[in-house]
């Protein structure tokens, strides 16, 4: 999948997710915002209530999306036979899409009314989604190949050194800017930093990075380098800074990812177990959808 096709792939997910959220909110605004005791008189009640044609459908489709999102990603990740079926990166993005839009539909299925044991499943789902956002952030901090395999430290160091050599050759004429850049792009800067300290250091370095990159860009332009060359050097400089931070904090993010699994998995299991119980009870009581 080339860059253009990948952008369309991601853009389609964003379009569908935003459209579903906005259109359902617009269509059912009067119903969802009405007090519970007044909803029975609302003309949308029969269709948007949890057992209504639309409301019930939201729950079924949303649940199936979450089940599909989790199962396909886990199968692709863990079953050897399926490891050649597309890059893991794209399956992860598909997983995130299904497990984001699915909970949104389940939320509309509840008609924003929570109670009983189902509320435990709902709030577990909320925690799973929120922790999933955090997990995604931690995951992308660990450098990987496009196939989704984690890159070894030696490969990362070689890659960083190649980037560093390219940037150094380009801005060697300005030793002050070069020294400032090398200090900012050093893995040692982040190697022993604690996660709490990193929450402060990384935002500060973001502004320092923008400042030094603007300076380098200006110097390269003054040196009369062609635009395509300047663009290539600036891309290498940005990549070196990001890669240096990720190399320096690699061990920290590994630990965080392990802690994240410990937190994320129990809520996911709780959500699905109660969901299955909820569906079983619903069927036992005779509730049907459009079948």
How do residues 234-255 score in pLDDT, each as one tens digit? Answer: 888 888 888 888 888 888 888 8
User: Taking a C-beta distance cutoff of 8 angstroms, is the pair 20, 26 a contact?
Assistant: no
Alpha helices (runs of H) in the chain, residue ranges in sequence order: 3-27, 29-32, 45-48, 53-78, 88-109, 116-140, 153-171, 175-184, 188-191, 195-222, 227-248, 250-284
Same domain for 141 and 168, yes or no, is no
pTM for the model stands at: 0.75
Same domain for 53 and 133, yes or no, is yes
Number of domains in the chain: 2
Query: What percentage of the chain carries pLDDT values higher than 90?
Result: 19
Phi, psi (5° rounding) for residue 179?
Answer: -60, -40
Q: Is residue 291 part of a domain?
A: no
Same domain for 122 and 32, yes or no, is yes
Mean pLDDT of the chain: 84
Same domain for 38 and 116, yes or no, is yes
Same domain for 108 and 135, yes or no, is yes
Q: In the numeric block, which tokens belong to residue 159? A: 């890659």
Looking at residue 94, what is its pLDDT? 92
User: Taking a C-beta distance cutoff of 8 angstroms, is the pair 96, 132 a contact?
Assistant: yes
* Structural domain range at position 236: 153-248
Same domain for 174 and 216, yes or no, is yes
Q: In the numeric block, which tokens belong to residue 226? A: 């062609």
Same domain for 103 and 165, yes or no, is no
Q: Is residue 289 part of a domain?
A: no
Same domain for 205 and 270, yes or no, is no
Return the axis-axis angle of helices 250-284 and 53-78, rounded to nearest 10°.
Answer: 140
More confident residue, 282 or 118: 282
Q: Is residue 290 part of a domain?
A: no
Looking at residue 146, what is its pLDDT? 63
Among the listed residues 268, 255, 274, 270, the one whose alpha carbon sits nearest the alpha carbon of residue 95:
268
Same domain for 103 and 176, yes or no, is no
């Amino acid at each position: 999948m080339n860059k253009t096709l990948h952008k369309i792939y991601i853009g389609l997910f964003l379009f569908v997710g935003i459209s579903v959220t906005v259109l359902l909110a617009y269509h059912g605004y009067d119903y969802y915002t009405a007090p519970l005791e007044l909803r029975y008189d609302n003309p949308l009640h029969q269709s948007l209530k949890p057992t209504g044609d639309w409301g019930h459908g939201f729950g079924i489709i949303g649940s199936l999306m979450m089940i599909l999102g989790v199962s396909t990603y886990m199968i692709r990740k863990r079953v050897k036979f399926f490891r050649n079926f597309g890059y893991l990166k794209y399956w992860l993005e598909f997983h995130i899409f299904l497990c984001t839009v699915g909970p949104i539909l389940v939320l509309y299925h509840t008609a924003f009314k929570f109670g009983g044991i189902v509320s435990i499943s709902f709030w577990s789902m909320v925690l799973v989604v929120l922790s999933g956002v955090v997990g995604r952030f931690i995951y992308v901090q660990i450098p990987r190949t496009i196939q989704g395999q984690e890159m070894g430290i030696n490969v990362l160091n070689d890659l960083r050194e190649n980037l560093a050599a390219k940037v150094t050759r380009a801005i060697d004429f300005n030793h002050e800017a070069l020294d400032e850049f090398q200090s900012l792009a050093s893995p040692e800067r982040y190697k022993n930093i604690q996660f709490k300290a990193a929450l402060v250091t990384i935002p500060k370095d973001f502004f320092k990075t923008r400042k030094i990159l603007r300076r380098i860009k200006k110097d390269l332009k003054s040196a009369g380098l062609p635009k395509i060359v300047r663009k290539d050097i600036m891309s290498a400089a940005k990549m070196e800074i990001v890669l240096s931070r990720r190399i320096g904090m690699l061990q920290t993010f590994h630990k965080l990812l392990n802690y994240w699994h410990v937190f994320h998995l129990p809520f996911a299991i709780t959500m699905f177990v109660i969901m299955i119980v909820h569906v079983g009870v619903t069927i036992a009581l005779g509730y049907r959808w459009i079948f």
